[in-house]
């Protein structure tokens, strides 16, 4: 039986980053994985979707080449090649993690892992051989999968989850996307851009419902303009897959509507992978479908930890990685501060992109803050105009009393790269006035942040 300091179960952005940090800290480390290294993020999530979205963006540029004074006589999409490119980017990233494991001298234990009492873990390989390993610290990072609703059972063909949605053998003519969180709107944008007729069905009154309502409304307008149909305050109550395509029964405020499509994509959230991994045998506490942990990701059983999507924080790759780093730094005896879940950026990579951090205007008001709100539209930004991307805005929310930057909300081209400014400023407890006095380069999209802050303080120049 091999003994390690740390064994990480699952190699997503939570697990593999944890393993690397553990190894950097001098801990003898192994990682257990039953599929490809890199988890959902690299193989089935963040990266392959962004590759698909890049193809959509290039296609959009071709469609609008004349807007830029260019003539492109012939262009077309090759759906199969678009999917192949995405898979090849994902494969390359997974190979990159293989390289990183080798470089950091981390043992990769291929197979299905199950934790056992006594800080042990069984790893069963594809040829059904089980080997027992032990470690002083076992970190569970088994992630999540597509959530299935009883009204929307996935058959993988006509009613699908995100994995199938990024590897369809043929482009559907009509697609219904149920759920308008990040995953739903990214696929809606991608398929609409490729020429599929897309309808989004959202239970709540706005799409991207976790975002500030101004952003949700703006994205709704942009999507409608690009031909995506949106049904909000609506619920798919059942699907009928018996015919050629699929019929979705949608309960709306005005009554029931029956939509027909080739495929329904269920994008209604995730379900954690906590079954059959030995939690009950070890006695690890779970609440609903999340493993309970403290600020250092220790479970109720000493020596067992959990990070990433299986724990209660936001289900995002950068959260999983940050949790894992913090967890092993604590194990290695370093002084660490608990993660501030109120300062986690969230990004959605459809077009226009959406990015936010902190409180929405409604949340700030609910919490009783007296606020100053500033907004700067990209239609007044030279860089946005020159790029032909003038849709969208930056909105900032400050506490009127102490100048604390409570929230930042952006929609437009490239905003997912711009949000880090607000994250860093908020981490450093910067006030609006300091952001305003930090000179931003011209012409850039980032000037819109400075101008939005200026607007909050009645000093805006270009409006
Ligand atoms: C379509 C889509 C797009 C997304 N886009 C983004 C994005 O743009 N930005 C972002 O921040 N997040 C995005 N996410 C979310 C992100 O992918 C997850 O938050 C992240 O992957 C969670 O990391 P994790 O390490 O907790 O788990 P995962 O990435 O789910 O990895 C868990 C790993 O554990 C393995 N595993 C599970 N059980 C066992 C077992 N018993 N034995 C061995 N191995 C096991 C799995 O095979 C998997 O490889 C997206 C998700 C989806 C589905």
Question: pLDDT tens across 324-360, in order?
Answer: 999 999 999 999 999 999 999 999 999 999 999 999 9
pLDDT digits (tens, 9 = 90+) for 61-104: 999 999 999 999 999 999 999 999 999 999 999 999 999 999 99
442 is catalytic: yes
Which protein residue's CA is at the shortest distance from atom 39 of ligand 1? 142
pLDDT digits (tens, 9 = 90+) for 268-318: 999 999 999 999 999 999 999 999 999 999 999 999 999 999 999 999 999
Query: Residues near ligand 1 with C-beta < 6 Å?
Result: 9-15, 32-35, 39-41, 44-46, 49, 112-113, 141-144, 162, 183, 273, 277, 308-309, 315-318, 320
- 11 Cα–ligand 1 center, Å: 8
- 92 Cα–ligand 1 center, Å: 17
Which protein residue's CA is at the shortest distance from atom 37 of ligand 1? 142
Three-class SS of the chain? CEEEEEEEECCCCCHHHHHHHHHHCCCCEEEEECCCCCHHHHHHCHHHHHHHHHHHHHHHHHHCHHHHCCCCCCCCCCHHHHHHHHHHHHHHHHHHHHHHHHHCCCEEEECEEEEECCCEEEEECCCCCEEEEEEEEEEECCCEEECCECCECCCCCCEECHHHHCCCCCCCCEEEEECCCHHHHHHHHHHHHHCCEEEEECCCCCCCCCCCHHHHHHHHHHHHHCCCEEECCCEEEEEECCCCCEEEEEEECCEEEEEEECEEEECCCEEECCCCCCHHHHCCCEECCEECCCCCCECCCCCEEECHHHCCCCCCHHHHHHHHHHHHHHHCCCCCCCCCHHHCCEEECCCCEEEEEECCHHHHHHCCCCEEEEEEEHHHCHHHHHHCCCCCEEEEEEECCCCEEEEEEEEECCHHHHHHHHHHHHHCCCEHHHHHHCCCCCCCCCHHHHHHHHHHCCCCCCC
pLDDT digits (tens, 9 = 90+) for 175-218: 999 999 999 999 999 999 999 999 999 999 999 999 999 999 99
- 396 Cα–ligand 1 center, Å: 31
Active-site residue identified among 335, 409, 440, 442: 442
Please report, rounded to a whole number, the percentage of residues in the chain having pLDDT higher than 70.
100
Atom of ligand 1 nearest to the CA of 16: 25
Q: How confident is residue 1, by pLDDT bands cut at 50, 70 and 90?
A: low
Whole-structure pTM value = 0.97
């Amino acid at each position: 039986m091999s003994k390690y300091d740390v064994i990480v179960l699952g190699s997503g952005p939570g697990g593999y980053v944890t393993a690397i940090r553990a190894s950097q800290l001098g801990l003898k480390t192994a990682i257990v994985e039953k599929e490809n290294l890199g988890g959902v993020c690299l193989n089935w999530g963040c990266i392959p979707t962004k590759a698909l979205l890049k193809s959509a963006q290039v296609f959009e540029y071709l469609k609008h080449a004349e807007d830029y004074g260019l003539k492109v006589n012939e262009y077309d999409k090759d759906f199969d090649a678009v999917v192949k490119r995405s898979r090849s980017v994902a494969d390359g990233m997974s190979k990159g993690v293989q390289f990183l494991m080798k470089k950091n001298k981390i043992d990769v234990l291929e197979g299905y892992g199950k934790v056992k009492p006594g800080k042990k873990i069984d790893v069963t390989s594809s040829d059904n051989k089980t080997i027992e390993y032990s470690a002083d610290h076992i970190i569970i990072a088994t992630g999540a999968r597509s959530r299935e609703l009883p009204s929307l059972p996935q058959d993988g063909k006509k009613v699908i989850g995100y994995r199938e949605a990024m590897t369809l053998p043929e482009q559907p003519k009509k697609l219904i996307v149920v759920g308008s969180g990040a995953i739903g709107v990214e696929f809606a944008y991608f398929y609409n851009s490729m020429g599929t007729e897309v309808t989004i069905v959202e239970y709540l009154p706005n799409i991207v419902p976790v975002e500030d309502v101004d952003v949700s409304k703006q994205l709704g307008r942009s999507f409608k303009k690009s031909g995506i149909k949106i049904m909000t305050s609506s619920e798919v109550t059942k699907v009928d897959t018996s015919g050629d395509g699929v019929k979705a029964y949608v309960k709306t405020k005005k009554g029931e509507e029956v939509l027909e499509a080739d495929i329904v994509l269920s994008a209604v959230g995730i379900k954690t992978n906590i079954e059959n991994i030995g939690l009950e045998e070890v006695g690890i506490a779970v609440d609903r479908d999340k493993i309970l942990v403290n600020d250092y990701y220790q479970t109720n059983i000493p020596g067992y930890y959990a990070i990433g999507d299986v724990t209660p924080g936001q289900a995002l790759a950068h959260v999983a990685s940050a949790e894992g780093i913090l967890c092993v730094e604590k194990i290695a005896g370093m002084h660490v501060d608990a993660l501030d879940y109120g300062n986690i950026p969230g990004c959605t990579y459809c077009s226009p992109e959406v990015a936010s951090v902190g409180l929405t205007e409604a949340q700030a008001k609910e919490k009783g803050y007296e606020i100053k709100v500033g907004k700067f539209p990209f239609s007044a930004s030279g860089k946005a105009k020159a790029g032909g991307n003038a849709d969208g805005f930056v909105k900032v929310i400050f506490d009127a009393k102490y100048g604390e930057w409570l929230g930042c909300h952006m929609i437009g081209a490239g905003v997912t790269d711009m949000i880090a400014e607000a994250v860093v400023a908020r981490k450093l407890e910067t006030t609006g006035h300091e952001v305003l006095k930090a000179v931003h380069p011209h012409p850039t999209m980032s000037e819109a942040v400075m101008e939005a802050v200026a607007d909050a303080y009645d000093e805006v120049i270009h409006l």
